[in-house]
Each structure stands twice: as structure tokens, then as C-alpha cells.
Structure 1
């Protein structure tokens, strides 16, 4: 099944902070952009609590809190796909978190292609001297930064061309 991500810049809300989210089965990495929507930085790793049939847990509450605190104008959730563009089992998790945020917030939620972001994040951490063991606690944040930075770059390219 082909899964299509959203396109950066389409229905753009304008300047303002974006929140990037990397959804895992155990942890959720969160990143944010600057107000000019040019640079993504890590924020925190949230322990995953909410499952498919659970009521919203503290993980959803914390994400909503971060969206509000940062006055975010857009939320970008990573859409896990394989190299052929097919959805993995993790797609359901990402879509579920996006749905729960949409349901409780007026901020637009976009799904962004996250192919190879965890690989790129792990490589970046290694290159900066962070050991694999130490990197486990921040890998999800680093992946969220990769997802969000890719979105921000795509957004800027889209806005330049249109």
C-alpha cells in the first residue's frame, strides 16, 4: 500500500514555529523550529503511553502542551515508509497520534516523509561523538529534528518557486 505524505508549503500557515514529531512504539521524539521556520532543534523525548484503543494519555497531553507553549502554527508528524514509498506497520502509530492531536487542537497537522531519518539521526549523533548507548536517549529527538528540518527546507523551496 502506497502511503502519500503531505507536501511542504501547500496550505502554508505562514511564519511561526513548527513542532516536529517522530512517533515510535516506546518513545516520541519532539523538535521545534525557530519563529522564522528555518532551523529545527531538539526539544524532548516523551514516553509513549497512548495505544490504539486507549484514552489520550500523558504523552498526548504533553504534546498538546508543547504545541501551545511554543505557539506552533503547524505540527509535522513523521510518516514511516520504506524506500519504495510503502507504509510500514508504524504508519498506524503515526496516523493515530496525528489524529489525536488534530482532534484536540486547531493547529494543522501534516504527515511528512520520514524515510531514513532515524539512520541520518544516528549518523549525526555518531559524527558528533555521542556513543550509541548515550544516543538512545536522544535518538528520537534527533529523528524529529531530521523530519522537521526536511519539512522546513521543502517549505522554503516551495515558497521560492511559487
Structure 2
């Protein structure tokens, strides 16, 4: 099964795709965040173009004292994707993925962060199966 991974940001959104077997994640592209509805539409189109059957969204950890609005935005985006486009959405902890990606590839950090998020999800799935 093929997956689409997303590293959500208020300005840029990194994307990644898995191989057909759902074992390896690859950075794909960076989208400009022009609003949640437009972003949901772009993600649904990308999922269709890539034949991805599920979208994996990176979700920041809930930390006491931290602004929860980013988590709320991501969960709202997931709700739109599920309701309007009927695409299954899963969440994966994105703890430090952008920082790790920047250390390895500043040029394409957002897409690389999406690949790290997706790879973590795929690794977790393979342990469950």
C-alpha cells in the first residue's frame, strides 16, 4: 500500500511518498500553505496522482505550556481530508523531524522532514504486522 506523508507548516508543507510496498519513504515536494481548504485539495490531488491510499500527517507532541493551535490546525486539516475526500488519515509524532532534516538537507528540509515522518510511520506499521 502506498502512503503520502505530510510535514505541516503554516508557511510551507513538505510532502513525501512511500514505495508501492509501503516500506520506504521518499521526499516529494514542498507546497505553499495558502489555507486549509486549498491545502486539503492539493493533498487529495497529490494522493490521487501518486496512487496513495492513506495520508500520514506529522503531529507535534502535546507539551504542557505549548501553544496547541498548530495541533488543532493539523487535526482540522485531517477532518477535511477525511470528510470531503474520503481519504484515510493517520498521525505520526513529528518530534524534531524538521530540525533533523535541516541538518542533513537545508535545501529540501520540509520534504525531507515529511519523509522522516512517513518513514517513522512505516517502521511502526511493520512492527505491528
| Secondary structure class of the residue paired with 2:34 | coil
What corresponds to 2:120 in structure 1?
150
What corresponds to 1:43 in structure 2?
28
> Which whole-Å CA distance do the structure 2 matches of 1:116 and 1:88 have between them?
17
> Which whole-Å CA distance do the structure 2 matches of 1:27 and 1:99 have between them?
20
What corresponds to 2:18 in structure 1?
33
What corresponds to 1:117 in structure 2?
97
CA distance 1:70–1:47, change in 2 (3 Å): same
CA distance 1:106–1:45, change in 2 (3 Å): same
| Secondary structure class of the residue paired with 1:35 | coil
Contact 1:83 1:115 (8 Å CA) reproduced:
no
Q: Of the two, which has the highest radius of gyration?
A: 1
Q: Any residues of structure 2 matched to 1:1-162 within 5 Å, and which?
A: 16-51=1-36, 56-57=37-38, 59-81=39-61, 88-125=68-105, 132=106, 135=107, 138-159=108-129
Contact 1:30 1:145 (8 Å CA) reproduced:
yes
CA distance 1:74–1:124, change in 2 (3 Å): same
Q: Compute the TM-score of the two structures, normalised by the length of structure 2.
A: 0.89
- Point out where structure 2 has 5 or more consecutive residues left out of the alignment: none
What corresponds to 1:129 in structure 2?
none
- Point out where structure 1 has 5 or more consecutive residues left out of the alignment: 1-15, 126-131
Report how far residue 87 of structure 1 moved: 7.1
Q: How many residues align?
A: 128
Report how far residue 83 of structure 1 moved: 6.6
Between Structure 1 and Structure 2, the one with more strand by share is 2
Q: Compute the TM-score of the two structures, normalised by the length of structure 1.
A: 0.72
